Amino acid sequence: MNIVVCVKQVPDTWAERKLKPSDATLDRESVDGLINELDEYAIEEALQIKEAHGGEVTVLTMGPEKAAESIRKALSMGADKAVHLLDDALAGSDVLQTSYALAQVLGSIGFDLVVLGAESTDARMGAMAAMLAERLGVPQLSLASKVEIDGTAITIHRQSEDGYWKVAGDLPAVVSVVEKINEPRYPSFKGIMAAKKKPMQVMSLADAGIDPSLVGLANAATEVVDFAERPPRQSGTIVKDEGDGGNKAAEFLATSKFI
């Protein structure tokens, strides 16, 4: 089975993340980047599917050169090879454009199964799996807490607000995974060494058949009008409990009309 895992390099959520004043795009220079947390679950799921059903796991990312760090992480976990869509013209692409670019690459490299993390920690839109399924015309099996494959039939447990839904389709398909699906493995020393020798293909817009007029900040379907750091909250009243902390909290609730 030809499994492709889409990964994204994101700014560390523990760092202070900012937009650049010049063009309101993410400032990727000032903070450390790392692989999006949920993507590690996607890689783990892909590796488990490969271990059970055979095949090959390809990592796909779109992003600047530094995004290769995320690829290396995925390869060191055990993915077989990687494709890096790397082109300056992609900078500042919004979700509509990114889904177009990724769909073009997926179309050109081919797949039986695409696996993604359910959302990224930076943009948090959680729409990519649906958008790729829409563009590729394949089943959308997203928000999965469990994936089962039997021949070409694939069934997932889709996380819902009040439980889960069993959703079934046929391969090829797009799957996105939520945190509770598995426990991602740590790369072994052997894995880290082996990753350095694994094939990594760099693709440009032309290589993937991407129309340059459909990607990049200038052609984006959305724009940032302005942005600002949120002003710090006005400091509140902090009291030390001296046997009446609960009374004081109740008083605050009453003054604020919550009770």
Partner 1 sequence: MAEVLVLAEHSGGDVKKVTLELLTLARQFGEPAVVWAGEGAADGQPRLAEYGAAKVYVADGSDFTDYVTAPEAELLASLVTETSPAAVLLASTGQNKEVAGRLAVKTSSGMLCDAVGLVAQDGKIVAEQSVFGGATVVHSAVKTGTPIVTVRPNSVAAEPAPGAAELSAVSLSLSDAAKSAKVTEKIVQETGERPELAEAAIVVSGGRGVGSADGFAIIEKLADSLGAAVGASRAVTDAGWYPHKFQVGQTGTTVSPQLYMAIGISGAIQHRAGMQTSKTIIAVNKDPEAPIFELADFGVVGDLFQVVPQLLEDIQKRSGS
Q: Return the number of the residue (202 or 249) whose C-beta is nearest partner 1.
A: 249
Q: Please list, residue by residue across 88-109, b when 16 or more beta carbons sit within 10 angstroms of its beta carbon and e when fewer do.
A: ebbebbbebbbbbbbbbbbeee
Of the candidates 81, 124, 130, the residue with the CA atom closest to the CA atom of residue 103 = 130
Residue 58 within binding range of partner 1, rule CB under 8 A: no
How near is the Cβ of 235 to partner 1 at its closest, in Å?
8
**Toward partner 1, which CB reaches closer, 89 or 167?**
167
Task: Compare residues 82 and 99 and give the one whose CB is closer to partner 1.
Answer: 99
Single out the residue of 162, 190, 206, 213 in contact with partner 1 (rule: CB under 8 A): 162
Q: Of the candidates 126, 146, 185, 194, which one interacts with partner 1 according to CB under 8 A?
A: 126
What residues between 7 and 26 interact with partner 1 by CB under 8 A? Answer: 13-14, 16-19, 24
Interacting residues with partner 1 between 167 and 196 (CB under 8 A): 167-170, 173, 179-180
Give the SS3 label for residue 28.
coil
Cβ 4 to partner 1 shortest distance, Å = 18
For the chain, the distance separating the N- and C-terminal CA atoms, rounded to the nearest angstrom, is 59
Residue closer to partner 1, measured from CB, 68 or 147: 147
Q: Which residues of 18-49 are buried (b: 16+ CB within 10 A; e: fewer)?
A: eeeeeeeebebeebebbbbebbbbbbbbbbeb
Question: Which range, of 48-56, 73-81, 205-213, 244-252, touches partner 1 by CB under 8 A?
Answer: 244-252
Binding part of the chain for partner 1, among 48-56, 65-73, 130-138, 191-199 by CB under 8 A, reads: 130-138
CB closer to partner 1 out of 193 and 254: 254
Q: Quick check: helix, strand or coil at residue 3?
A: strand
Q: Which is nearer to partner 1, 48 or 121 (CB)?
A: 121
Nearest-approach distance from CB 33 to partner 1, in angstroms: 14
The distance from CA 68 to its chain's CA centroid, rounded to whole angstroms, is 15
Please select the residue that binds partner 1; options are 69, 80, 122, 148, rule is CB under 8 A: 122
User: Among residue numbers 75 through 94, which ones bind partner 1 (CB under 8 A)?
Assistant: 94
- List alpha helices for 57-197, DSSP H: 68-77, 95-109, 128-136, 189-195
Three-state SS string across 77-89, please?
HCCCEEEEECCHH
219: alpha, beta or left? (left if phi > 0; alpha if psi -120 to 50): alpha
The residue among 46, 198, 162 whose CA lies nearest residue 111 is: 46
> Strand, coil or helix: what is 221?
coil
Query: Quick one: 190 or 233, whose CB is closer to partner 1?
Result: 233
